[in-house]
């Protein structure tokens, strides 16, 4: 008899031929034939085990019991707690038990009226587009205060729930985009690109100099693209330990007598790595042309193979890309633990209409990272608001009555974009509004352009100091 607690009936029959032991050390006596009928996932597990094996599973006893009751010829469990539904769904998906997964999915819409963001997160993680849409539409009926000093009261703050820590930032972004625009969009995954990144003729392995037959080594990517290269190149500083590490790994069969080394990187990444190892000018880098889709993976691969000279080159490209793609550069910096660079990108983002910015990097970033960025951004807006107060209460207000600091409407005008980039800074916007106001009032209003320009400069300097000196609480 087991020294561990035994699960309730029907999982307490000691004649059963398998014991499943949960993370909280409860033993479930089960019949392997029942599990095999529910899912072939268990076939390999049972075939390699001794008579009546004890199999440890990471699920707790409550989750395993609910899952097994769908498999056994007993009444299906009634689960009224969304968190528990999520746990059992995850287990059903893991063990490929459709007899549990399908009825559990049908229960999700019932939680939408009271737990819309949570259902949205679960649906996106499981790829349930219709359920995600239903939850987003329901959540869209809520009201938010975008001018609240408390981030949790804003659309972005209120829409984030702990369940979103397990989904990509892209799905969180699409929920916020829908709430702002009410546009019909896919939620679980972004719309597919209109054309592939590479056509057959553009395959990176076919670019010179990587198609040159006069080479002494072939490096094969994880997606089986061959790059012909010269071993002497990897003896230079940019080569790092790439060649020596590859030589330790398993080799593929030689091609026309040329040795083949396999590298754990896809063709896009490998092409960028090799381009940076070769002298400049031989072929163009996609990163240099502001195509940042592989940026993070290039950096991580260069770090893996200790290619410090390549990392320096990539950082210089990062610096140049900051003006064009500050959101991408921020996410890349965070992913690579470049704290100083992440702070620099955040300071740059402070004057951008961040809600209009999208980058494919969001699909490879956790939602909680994006939420942290939005919370810091909100903090910066509040700090800027405070810095603008002295200018608002001066004898001759720099702000028009219609666009004041007090009512927060300046944000609506400031947070606008032109072709995806900020249309203006706060000081420039307010200067324009003040001049327009003077023209509108004519003889009843007089202003000194030099005074306005001086005030604009003072405010600009003040806001830059605010952003530079901002201290953020833990997210």
β pairing state of 18-21 and 54-56: parallel
Q: What is the pLDDT, as a whole number, of residue 370?
A: 97
Rounded mean pLDDT of 435-440? 64
Rounded mean pLDDT of 53-72? 94
Q: Which residue has the tokens 């960028």?
A: 272
Q: How many angstroms separate the CA atoms of 294 and 266, rounded?
A: 10
Per-residue DSSP letter, 204 = G
Q: What is the pLDDT, as a whole number, of residue 403?
A: 46
Q: What is the pLDDT, as a whole number, of residue 128?
A: 95
Mean pLDDT, the chain, rounded, equals: 81
Q: Tell me the percentage of the chain whose pLDDT exceeds 90.
A: 37
Residue 39's nearest CA partner among 84, 92, 104, 105 is 92
Q: Count CA within 13 A, CB hemisphere, residue 367.
A: 26
Q: Is the pLDDT of residue 70 over 80?
A: yes
Q: What is the pLDDT, as a whole number, of residue 290?
A: 56
Chain segment 331-356, per-residue pLDDT in tens = 999 988 898 999 999 988 887 788 88
> Distance between alpha carbon 311 and the CA centroid of its chain, in Å?
22
Q: Which residue has the higher pLDDT, 217 or 175?
A: 175
Q: What is the pLDDT, as a whole number, of residue 394?
A: 42
Task: Give yes or no for a cis peptide into 347 (omega within 30° of 0).
Answer: no
Q: Which residue has the higher pLDDT, 160 or 387?
A: 160
Residue 225's nearest CA partner among 271, 286, 256, 272 is 271
Q: Count CA within 13 A, CB hemisphere, residue 200.
A: 0
Task: Give yes or no for a cis peptide into 209 (omega within 30° of 0).
Answer: yes
Burial class of residue 22, CB neighbours in 10 A (0-12, 13-18, 19+) = buried
Chain segment 178-225, per-residue pLDDT in tens = 999 999 899 999 876 544 444 333 445 545 567 777 788 888 888 888
Q: How many angstroms separate the CA atoms of 399 and 394, rounded?
A: 10
Q: Which residue has the tokens 């546009």?
A: 183
Q: What is the pLDDT, as a whole number, of residue 401?
A: 43
Q: What is the pLDDT, as a whole number, of residue 30?
A: 94
* Predicted TM-score of the model (pTM): 0.80
Q: What is the pLDDT, as a whole number, of residue 173?
A: 97
The length of the chain, given as a count of residues? 475
Q: What is the pLDDT, as a whole number, of residue 158?
A: 96
Q: What is the pLDDT, as a whole number, of residue 132?
A: 98
Q: How many angstroms separate the CA atoms of 172 and 168, rounded?
A: 7
β pairing state of 27-30 and 54-56: unpaired
Distances (CA, A) of 179 to 49, 187, 276: 52, 12, 43
Chain segment 371-428, per-residue pLDDT in tens = 999 999 888 877 877 777 666 544 344 444 444 544 455 555 555 544 444 444 556 6
Rg (CA), the chain: 29
β pairing state of 226-229 and 251-255: unpaired
Q: Count CA within 13 A, CB hemisphere, residue 45.
A: 18
Taking each helix axis as running N to C, give the angle between helix 116-126 and helix 129-139, from 0 to 180 degrees, rounded to the nearest 10.
160
Q: How many angstroms separate the CA atoms of 272 and 288, rounded?
A: 10
């Amino acid at each position: 008899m087991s020294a561990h607690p035994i699960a309730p009936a029907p999982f307490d029959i000691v004649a059963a031929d398998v014991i499943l032991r949960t993370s909280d050390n409860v033993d479930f006596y089960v019949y392997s034939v029942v599990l095999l009928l529910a899912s072939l996932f268990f076939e390999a597990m049972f075939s390699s085990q001794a008579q009546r094996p004890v199999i440890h599973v990471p699920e707790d006893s409550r989750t395993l019991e609910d899952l097994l009751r769908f498999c056994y010829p007993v009444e299906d469990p009634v689960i009224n707690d969304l968190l528990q539904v999520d746990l059992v769904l995850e287990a059903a998906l893991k063990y490929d038990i459709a007899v549990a997964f399908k009825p559990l999915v049908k229960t999700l819409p019932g939680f939408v009226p009271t737990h819309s963001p949570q259902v949205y997160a679960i649906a996106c993680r499981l790829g349930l587009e219709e359920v995600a849409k239903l939850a987003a539409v329901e959540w869209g009926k809520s009201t938010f205060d975008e001018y609240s000093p408390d981030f949790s009261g804003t659309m972005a703050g209120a829409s984030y729930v702990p369940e979103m820590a397990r989904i990509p930032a892209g799905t969180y972004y699409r929920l916020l985009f829908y709430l702002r625009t009410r546009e019909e969009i896919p939620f679980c995954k972004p719309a597919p690109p209109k054309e592939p990144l590479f056509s057959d003729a553009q395959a990176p392995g076919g670019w010179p100099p990587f198609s040159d037959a006069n080479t002494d080594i072939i490096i094969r990517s994880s997606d089986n693209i061959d790059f012909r290269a010269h071993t002497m190149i990897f003896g230079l500083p940019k080569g790092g330990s790439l060649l020596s590490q590859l030589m330790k790994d398993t080799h593929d069969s030689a091609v026309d007598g040329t040795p083949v080394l396999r590298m754990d990187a896809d063709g896009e990444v490998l092409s960028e790595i090799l381009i940076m190892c070769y002298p400049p000018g031989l072929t163009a880098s996609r990163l240099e042309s502001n195509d940042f889709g592989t940026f993070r993976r290039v950096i991580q691969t260069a770090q893996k193979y200790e290619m410090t000279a390549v990392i320096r080159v990539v950082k210089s490209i990062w610096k140049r890309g900051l003006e064009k793609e500050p959101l991408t550069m921020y996410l890349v910096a965070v992913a690579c633990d470049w704290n100083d660079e992440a702070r620099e990108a955040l300071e740059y983002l402070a004057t951008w209409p961040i809600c209009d910015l999208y980058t494919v990097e969001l699909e490879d970033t956790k939602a909680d990272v994006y939420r942290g960025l939005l919370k810091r951004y909100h903090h910066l807006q509040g700090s800027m608001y405070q810095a603008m107060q002295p200018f608002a209460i001066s004898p001759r207000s720099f702000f028009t009555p219609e666009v004041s600091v007090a009512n927060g409407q300046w944000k609506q005008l400031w947070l606008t974009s032109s072709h995806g980039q900020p249309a203006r800074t706060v000081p420039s916007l307010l200067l324009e509004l003040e001049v327009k106001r003077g023209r509108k009032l004519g003889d009843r209003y007089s202003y000194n352009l030099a005074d306005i320009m001086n005030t604009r400069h003072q405010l600009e300097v003040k806001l830059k100091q605010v952003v530079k000196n901002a201290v953020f609480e833990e997210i």
